Amino acid sequence: MKIYMLKLKSFSIAVMVLSMFAGTNVIAEVANTKHNLGSTGSGPNTYPNTAEICVFCHTPHGGDTSAAVPLWNRTLAAPVSYTTYDSLGSTSMDAAEAPVGSVSIACLSCHDGTQAMDTLINEPGSGTDVAGFSGGTWTGNDRPQGIANLSADLSNDHPIGIQYGGGGIDLNTPDPLATNDPDFVMPDNAVINSTTVWWVDTEGTPNGTREKTDMQLYTRTEATVGNIAQPFVECASCHDPHSEVVTFLRVPNTGSAVCLACHVK
C-alpha cells in the first residue's frame, strides 16, 4: 500500500488577520446590489416593511443547521429534489458529481423558484410578526423580476457538486498537485483550522493566499484521496453573493475570464 503526501502551502497569520478586516465592506457591497431585498434596496424586488439587509439570508439565532453556510435563514430543499447535470450522460464529464449540497443548496433556496423570497425562518425584527412576511410560493409581489430562476432542473446549468479537475486531484502522478484532466488549471491550497481549502487563482501570479476574487472550491465528504478531501465546484465557486460585479461574479467575465480561470482552452 502506497501513502502519498500532499505538500500544502502555508497561510500567514498576517494575511488571516487582514482577511477578517476585509469583511467589514461586505454589508456596503450587498446594500448596493439586487440581494438587498429590504426597503433601502434599489432593485426590482424589495419589501417595504423592513430596512434590514442581511435577514433575507442570515439570522443571528435559530438558522437551518443543515446548511453549510453561516446561520442560514431559509429552509433548504431535499437534495434529491433536483435534477443534476450528470443526468444527461455527457461523454465529456469525467468527474464524480455529489448530491446537491454545500453552499449551492443555500443559493437554490432562493433561486430554484419553489418558495417566495420572504419565506424566512426568522422574520426581521425581534420576535415580532412583521406584515408582508407570510411566505409561501412565488406569487404576486413575491415573484422576483430579473432573477435567475434556475428551477429544480439543473441539467442545463454548469455542474455543481462536481469534483474539480476531471475527477479530483491525482496523487499518483510525479507531481502530487496535478489534475487528472490537463484541461483544468491546477488549484492552489492551504490548511486553515486543520482543514485543506482549495481555490483557483485569478491573478495569473499565485500569491499563496485565498482571496474573494479567486474561484473558490469546496471540500465535500463524498470524495477523498488518501486523507485529503477533494475540491468541488459549487455555485459560489464563480459567484460571490456579496459582490457588486455584474451577476455577482467573482471577477468580471471580460474575455471569458471566469471560464478561463479554471478551463485551459
Contacts for 237-241 with beta carbons within 8 Å, 24 or more apart?
A: 238/158, 239/107, 240/212, 241/30, 241/35, 241/57, 241/107
Asked which of 138, 160, 182 is the last residue of a domain, the reply is 160
- pTM of the model as a whole: 0.82
Indicate if 38 and 147 belong to the same structural domain. yes
Confidence category of residue 175, pLDDT binned at 50, 70, 90: low
| Higher-scoring residue by pLDDT: 253, 19 | 253
Indicate if 40 and 145 belong to the same structural domain. yes
Model confidence pLDDT, tens digit, residues 48-81? 889 999 999 999 999 999 999 999 999 999 999 9
Mean pLDDT (the chain, rounded): 81
Indicate if 113 and 37 belong to the same structural domain. yes
Q: How far apart are CA 85 and CA 155, in angstroms?
A: 4
- The total of structural domains in the chain comes to 2
Confidence category of residue 232, pLDDT binned at 50, 70, 90: very high
Residue 1 maps to a domain: no
Q: Out of 11-15, 91-95, 118-122, 123-127, which region has the weakest mean confidence (pLDDT)? A: 11-15
Cβ-contact 56, 122 below 8 angstroms: no
Q: What is the mean pLDDT of residues 81-100?
A: 86
Q: Which residues form the domain of 245?
A: 163-262
Residue 26 maps to a domain: no
Cβ-contact 220, 101 below 8 angstroms: yes
Q: Which amino acid is at 17?
A: V
pLDDT value of residue 22: 41
Indicate if 176 and 220 belong to the same structural domain. yes
Cβ-contact 242, 23 below 8 angstroms: no
Q: Where are the beta strands (DSSP E) in 15-101?
A: none
Asked which of 102, 135, 160 is the last residue of a domain, the reply is 160
Indicate if 85 and 140 belong to the same structural domain. yes
Asked which of 103, 137, 160 is the last residue of a domain, the reply is 160
> In the sheet where 215-225 sits, what is the strand order?
162-163, 228-233, 215-225, 195-200, 188-192
pLDDT value of residue 7: 33
Residue 15 maps to a domain: no
Confidence category of residue 95, pLDDT binned at 50, 70, 90: confident
Residue 6 maps to a domain: no
Indicate if 50 and 132 belong to the same structural domain. yes
Indicate if 113 and 191 belong to the same structural domain. no
Residue 12 maps to a domain: no
Indicate if 143 and 218 belong to the same structural domain. no
Indicate if 123 and 102 belong to the same structural domain. yes
Indicate if 132 and 173 belong to the same structural domain. no
Beta-carbon contacts of residue 8 (< 8 Å; ≥ 6 apart): 189, 190, 191, 196
CA atoms 209, 158, 83, 57: torsion sign:
positive
